Amino acid sequence: MDRVNQPPSGLLTRRIEPTQPTAPQAQPAASGSPSTANHSPRVISIVNRKGGVGKTTTAFNLAGALAGKGNPVLLIDLDPMGSLCRSLQIRPGDLALSDLLVGLDGDLGHLIRRTQIPNLFCIPGDPNLRSFEMQHGGSLGYREALRDRLQGVLKWKPFPFVLIDCPPSLGLLSGNALAASTDVIIPVDGSAYGMGALVDTLRVLKLVRKSLNQNLSVTGLLLNNVDLGTLYDKTVRDVLQRQFQGLLFRSVIPASPESDVSSQMGQPVIRHAPDSWMAKAYRQLIDEILEREPHRAQ
């Protein structure tokens, strides 16, 4: 059946209860001096079990939009593919993120790279992250490896925002991201499979919050890469609004070729095409993230 005329199947009935927001405004401390700021950094994981929903694109463009507002932002590429930092032409060095997660001596802060984009820094992913997940996925001893390392960095370099790009799975790597995070943003699409992946993702968030990170909150669901001129995508939005009242972002990221072009250019869309509809959508999304209350994953 044609996608324009076919409504999405299945209704979602899970509800999310609200909690108080976290709105850190700390600026990075001077080198060698611990932070005395009153607010904690906001660590946001971009996560969904399903691939192809735009997690990397979302992380990259959100980071660019936040940095464009003058906020120092740290991007952590936790995907073994390393697409996020590769688009910035930044690759892992001799000491890689996977080395530190398995317990090798070293400081996570030494992996931070300055990008060509003002206020934007990143920690590149590396292919051995896949081996880390395969070899240690059944071990409880590695679930908090990233959180422990990141806490040490943020004592001395308190970025107000840390964004973590997660792989398309809910294994050890995404679990590390969720253990280290204060917030989660879930990019979603309108496919029937996407709806099932969303339910699975919310279920895992509930388990993580219960057993590992009681402060984990869902900032919102982001409807991504859509055309609201079609009946299908409008119906998807209406279903999500009804079933996740207050959780779906008002901002919707439109389907646009600017996404791929800006990624190939190594520039967030707000820098590459600042007057495009996609750039406007990301600017609206940033304002919404900063103003809205996160929701606990109940």
So what's the pLDDT on residue 99?
A: 95
Res. 7: pLDDT tops 90: no
pLDDT band for position 294 (cuts 50, 70, 90): low
* The two structure tokens encoding residue 202: 């919310």
Q: What is the pLDDT, as a whole number, of residue 202?
A: 93
Q: For residue 181, what pLDDT band results from cuts at 50, 70 and 90?
A: very high
Give the C-alpha separation, 240 to 13, whole Å: 10
Q: Is the pLDDT of residue 250 over 70?
A: yes
pLDDT recorded at residue 182? 94
Q: Tell me how crowded residue 218 is: count the other CB atoms within 10 A of its CB.
A: 25
Q: Where are the domains of the chain?
A: 42-296
Query: Residue 28: pLDDT band by 50, 70, 90 thresholds?
Result: very low
Looking at 20-29, 126-135, 145-154, 189-198, which range is the least confident one?
20-29
For position 148, what pLDDT does the model report?
A: 93
- Residue 75 token pair: 């991007």
User: What's the rounded Cα separation, in Å, for the pair 113 and 110?
Assistant: 8
Q: On the CB side of 257, how many CA atoms lie within 13 Å of its CA?
A: 0
pLDDT tens column, 199-224: 899 999 999 999 999 999 999 999 99
Separation of alpha carbons 16 and 268, rounded Å: 31
Classify residue 167 by its DSSP letter: P
What is the per-residue pLDDT across 56-95, written as a single tens digit (0 to 9) for each? 999 999 999 999 999 999 999 999 988 888 888 898 889 9
Q: What's residue 27's pLDDT?
A: 35
> What integer pLDDT is reported at residue 39 of this predicted model?
64
pLDDT reported for residue 158:
79
**Left (φ > 0), alpha (ψ -120 to 50) or beta: where does 45 sit?**
beta
DSSP-based three-state secondary structure for 42: strand
* Of the candidates 45, 44, 60, the residue with the CA atom closest to the CA atom of residue 268: 60
d(CA 132, CA 114): 26
Half-sphere exposure in the Cβ direction for 8 (13 Å, CA): 21
Query: In DSSP terms, which residues pair with 165 in a beta bridge?
Result: 46, 77
Pairwise CA distance, residues 99 & 77, whole Å: 14
DSSP assignments along 221-247, one per residue: EEEEEE-TTSHHHHHHHHHHHHHTTTT
Give 245 or 15, the one with higher predicted confidence. Answer: 245
Q: So what's the pLDDT on residue 35?
A: 37
Residue 34 confidence (pLDDT) above 60? no
Summarised one tens digit per residue, pLDDT across range 95-150 is 999 999 998 989 999 999 999 999 999 999 999 999 999 998 877 789 999 999 99
Q: Which fold has domain 42-296?
A: Rossmann fold (3.40.50)
Which CB contacts under 8 angstroms, 24+ apart, belong to 36-40? 37/158, 39/160, 40/182
In sequence order, the 6+-apart residues with CB closer than 8 A to the CB of 171 are 133, 137
Average pLDDT value over all residues in the chain: 83
Taking each helix axis as running N to C, give the angle between helix 55-68 and helix 277-291, from 0 to 180 degrees, rounded to the nearest 10.
80
Strand partners, 185: 46, 220
Cα–Cα nearest to 103, from 141, 138, 74, 156: 141
